[in-house]
A = this chain, B = another copy of it.
C-alpha cells in the first residue's frame, strides 16, 4: 500500500489536490516534544509556490491545522494528524482535458492503477501538493534530529548544465548547511545561483521546463546507525526519496563515478585523531555495509524537468482510443528543483529519524 511508511515513526498520507483536504497522520513522535510551529511554517514556505518569480504564480494555501496529538504546546505521543484544506483550486483548468493523457504525468498510469476511478483534477493524489504534508512531518523530524545534534541540509548541485560545486564530503560545517537553508536559490557558489535563475527564466519564457540535481548531507550522525541488507541507510533513504514525485536517480558518495574508480582510489582509508575515528576521503558517502561510519552521509538526487510545458505534445485520448495532441495551459513551474529541495530534506530527515529511533539514541 502506498500511504503507510516507517517502523518507529509512522506516516499515513492522504489527499487529492482538489478534494476537501490533504494531510498526514504521524505516530511515534516522542511525547512532550515542543513543536516549533514557526520553524515548521518556514520549512513549508520553502516549498510553497508563488513565493518568487521563478516558480508558479499559483498561490497554494499552505495553512495547516493540527487535529490531534498536540496539547498545551507539546506532542502528546498519540498520533498527530495534520490537514491542509484545499482552497485555491480551479477545477475548470482540468475538466476539459481529463481524457487527454499528459505526457510525463501519471494521468495514464493513474487510470490503470485505479481502474479509472481516481480523482483526475489537478493531478489528484499525484499532485505535487501532496509533498506539503511530507514537508510538515520532515520539519518535525528535523527538529528532533537537531536536538540530537544531527543536521540535514542541501544545495542545488545543478539546473540543466549549470553546475555548482559539490560538498566537501569529508567535512561539512553545520553553518554551511544553515546558511543555505533560506537562500532563494541555494548554491555553494553565489554566481551559480544567478546563472541558474537566468536559465530557468529563459526556459520559462520558452514555455518549456528543465530538471536538476540536489545534493544532500546529513552531518554529526553517530557511527552504527542502520543495518545490513533490507534496512540499510541507502535502502531507507532511497525508498522514501523515490516516493517524492519527479525523482529519477539517487547516488551515494561518489555514486556512479565510483564505478569508474579503482579500489585503491575509492577505498576510504581510516585514521584516528583525538579519539575520533574518521576517513581521509568519503567516497562511500558515510555508509558502509548499510551502516553509518560517522562521516557525513552525502548523496545526490536527480529530478526530471516538470512534465507540464506550454508546448504542443503528441498524446492519446484514452476515451476515444485515438492519437491526438495536447497543449497544456495554466500556471506551471518551469523547474521543480527549488521547491523539491526542502521536500527531499524532509524525506531524508524522516528516514534518518526512523533509524535513529530504532537505535534508541
Q: Which residues of A contact B (CB under 8 A)?
A: 1-5, 7-8, 10-16, 19-23, 25, 27-28, 31-32, 65-71, 74-81, 83, 101, 103-106, 108-110, 112-119, 124-126, 130, 158, 160-161, 203, 208-213, 222-232, 234-236, 238-240, 242-243, 245, 247-256, 258-272, 275, 277, 279-280, 283-285, 287-293, 300, 302-309, 311, 313-316, 318, 321-323, 360
Asked if B292 and A118 make an inter-chain contact with CB atoms under 8 angstroms apart, the answer reads: no
Measured in the bound complex, the distance between the Cα atoms of B322 and A338 in whole Å is 45
Asked if A4 and B14 make an inter-chain contact with CB atoms under 8 angstroms apart, the answer reads: no
Closest to A306 in B: B263
Partner of A112, one of B118, B263, B285, B291: B291
Asked if B309 and A260 make an inter-chain contact with CB atoms under 8 angstroms apart, the answer reads: no
Chain A residues touching B, majority SS: mixed
Asked if B245 and A211 make an inter-chain contact with CB atoms under 8 angstroms apart, the answer reads: no
Of A238, A254, A287, chain B has the most CB atoms within 10 Å of the CB of A238
Partner of A108, one of B211, B270, B303: B270
Residues of B within 8 A of A160 (CB): 259-260, 262
In the assembled complex, the CB of A214 is this many whole angstroms from the nearest CB of chain B, namely: 9
Asked if A78 and B118 make an inter-chain contact with CB atoms under 8 angstroms apart, the answer reads: yes
Instruction: Show 17 A/B contacts (Cβ-Cβ < 8 Å), sorted by A.
Output: A3-B10, A15-B79, A67-B83, A105-B288, A109-B289, A236-B239, A248-B251, A256-B300, A263-B306, A263-B307, A263-B311, A264-B309, A266-B304, A267-B309, A272-B316, A272-B321, A272-B323
Given contacts A113-B225, A238-B250, 19 further A-B contacts (CB under 8 A): A3-B25, A3-B78, A13-B229, A15-B67, A21-B68, A71-B117, A71-B124, A103-B267, A108-B288, A109-B224, A109-B293, A113-B291, A208-B262, A236-B239, A248-B252, A248-B258, A256-B300, A258-B304, A266-B307
Of A22, A66, A229, chain B has the most CB atoms within 10 Å of the CB of A229
Asked if B20 and A67 make an inter-chain contact with CB atoms under 8 angstroms apart, the answer reads: yes
Partner of A263, one of B27, B230, B264, B305: B305
Measured in the bound complex, the distance between the Cα atoms of B293 and A269 in whole Å is 44
Residues of B within 8 A of A161 (CB): 260
Measured in the bound complex, the distance between the Cα atoms of B234 and A245 in whole Å is 11
Measured in the bound complex, the distance between the Cα atoms of B109 and A291 in whole Å is 6
Measured in the bound complex, the distance between the Cα atoms of B124 and A5 in whole Å is 25
Asked if A259 and B211 make an inter-chain contact with CB atoms under 8 angstroms apart, the answer reads: yes
Asked if A4 and B15 make an inter-chain contact with CB atoms under 8 angstroms apart, the answer reads: no
Measured in the bound complex, the distance between the Cα atoms of B5 and A7 in whole Å is 13
Residues of B within 8 A of A76 (CB): 16, 114, 117-119, 124-125
Asked if B302 and A251 make an inter-chain contact with CB atoms under 8 angstroms apart, the answer reads: yes
Residues of B within 8 A of A307 (CB): 263, 266-267
Residues of B within 8 A of A7 (CB): 1, 7
Asked if B271 and A3 make an inter-chain contact with CB atoms under 8 angstroms apart, the answer reads: no
Measured in the bound complex, the distance between the Cα atoms of B300 and A236 in whole Å is 19
Residues of B within 8 A of A262 (CB): 160, 203, 208-210, 305, 309
